[in-house]
């Protein structure tokens, strides 16, 4: 096997060309050799580069090689050259190469994030655990790169990461996921989404377990404190909005709190009544009885507390959807659908009287 100094003296383009030629053995070894050359590059850089001009040229050459390598890695994730080793080889190399800024940029531009995220799922066999670990390690490296964070936010990576932590007993897997969650916590709406997905309770459960890794224990403590800060900052309407947008409603205190509705009723007008529209859509799309019941109740609350509530709800064609639920098999759903219809037809004052 070549040593790293010997390989560095061979032009990287030589191995880059081999990625797309020959059998799988040649492709795999070329990929691994290129990864070693890149990881060894900073140490050997001064010996390779004689002056400033050649330094600039050398970096351009390496960058082109890296972009070609990323293209090959993404191709393996899409359509592996080898049925069982194509994807593990690609992920193994990414877990090393994503330390490089050029690789991160090229990987995101090549839509690599959406190819990586499906690999984040609970694993059982030793081979699949190692693949999961390296996939999570790759996400952790991407969590230091702002453009990648945006892509991760739209690819359902967060629910997947949390499911992995729930189902994994392998300490190294839990550690790298917790470190990733800690990095993402303060970015955009990640904090609010983590709270909605039940991460605070999960972190408490994880802290109660006997972990030996000090980095993991420290990261759990930092994550717990960060989540507590986010809960304090998150207004009651922000929490409500997140719950509605996720489409899973429950009888949390705010739904029946008159103060919440009086103080926040004008917030429902944001983005052309977006939250009200989502509530009405839930009546068509959800199959969960609790969610349907709460949605009916919240629409009736809007009718009661908004000055033009009856007119707005009628204009948005909510009546027909609520009427359908009067025949629902679940008593909780029919009860709250009836309340909504009463408030819609009779007005809040008379409907509340009938309810009593």
Query: pLDDT tens digit string along 183-235?
Result: 999 888 888 889 878 898 899 999 999 899 999 999 999 999 999 888 777 76
- Distance of alpha carbon 184 from alpha carbon 191, whole angstroms: 8
Q: Rounded to the nearest 5 degrees, what angle is found at the Cα of 265, between the Cα atoms of 261 and 271?
A: 140
Q: Residue 123: pLDDT band by 50, 70, 90 thresholds?
A: confident
Q: What is the pLDDT of residues 131-176, one digit of tens each?
A: 999 999 999 999 999 999 988 988 889 999 999 999 998 999 999 9
Q: Please tell me the total number of residues recorded for the chain in this structure.
A: 356
Residue linked to tokens 């009200």: 276
C-beta separation of 345 from 300 below 8 A? no
C-beta separation of 280 from 318 below 8 A? yes
- Distance of alpha carbon 77 from alpha carbon 123, whole angstroms: 18
Query: pTM for the complete prediction?
Result: 0.63
Domains of the chain listed by start with CATH number: 246-355 (1.25.40.150)
C-beta separation of 164 from 132 below 8 A? yes
Q: CB-based burial of residue 127 (10 Å sphere; 0-12 exposed, 13-18 middle, 19+ buried)?
A: exposed
Q: Residue 12: pLDDT band by 50, 70, 90 thresholds?
A: low
């Amino acid at each position: 096997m070549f040593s790293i100094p010997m390989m560095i003296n061979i032009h990287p383009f030589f191995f880059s060309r081999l990625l797309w030629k020959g059998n799988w053995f040649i492709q795999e070894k070329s990929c691994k050799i290129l990864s070693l050359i890149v990881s060894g590059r900073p140490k050997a850089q001064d010996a390779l580069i004689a002056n400033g001009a050649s330094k600039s040229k050398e970096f351009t050459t390496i960058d082109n090689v890296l972009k070609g390598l990323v293209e090959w890695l993404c191709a393996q994730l899409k359509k592996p050259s080898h049925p069982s080793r194509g994807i593990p080889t690609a992920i193994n190399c990414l877990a090393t190469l994503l330390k490089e800024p050029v690789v991160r940029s090229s990987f995101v531009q090549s839509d690599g994030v959406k190819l990586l995220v499906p690999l984040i799922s609970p694993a059982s066999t030793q081979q699949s655990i190692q693949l999961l670990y390296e996939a999570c390690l790759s996400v952790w490296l991407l969590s230091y790169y702002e453009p990648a964070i945006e892509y991760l936010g739209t690819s359902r990576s967060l629910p997947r990461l949390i499911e992995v932590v729930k189902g994994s007993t392998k300490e190294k897997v839990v550690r790298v996921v917790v470190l990733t969650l800690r990095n993402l916590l303060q970015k955009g709406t990640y904090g609010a989404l983590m709270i909605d997905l039940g991460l605070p309770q999960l972190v408490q459960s994880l802290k109660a377990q006997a972990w030996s890794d000090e980095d993991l224990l420290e990261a759990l403590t930092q994550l717990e404190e960060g989540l507590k800060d986010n809960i304090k900052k998150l207004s009651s309407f922000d929490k409500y909005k997140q719950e509605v947008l996720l489409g899973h409603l429950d009888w949390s205190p705010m739904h029946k709190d008159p103060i919440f509705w009086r103080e926040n009723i004008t917030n429902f007008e944001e983005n052309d009544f977006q939250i009200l529209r989502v509530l009405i859509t839930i009546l068509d799309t959800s199959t969960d009885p609790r969610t349907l019941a709460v949605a009916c109740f919240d629409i009736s609350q809007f009718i009661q507390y908004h000055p033009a509530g009856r007119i707005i709800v009628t204009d948005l064609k909510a009546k027909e959807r609520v009427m359908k639920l009067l025949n629902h098999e679940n008593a909780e759903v029919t009860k709250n659908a009836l309340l909504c219809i009463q408030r819609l037809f009779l007005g809040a004052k008379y409907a509340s009287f009938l309810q009593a």
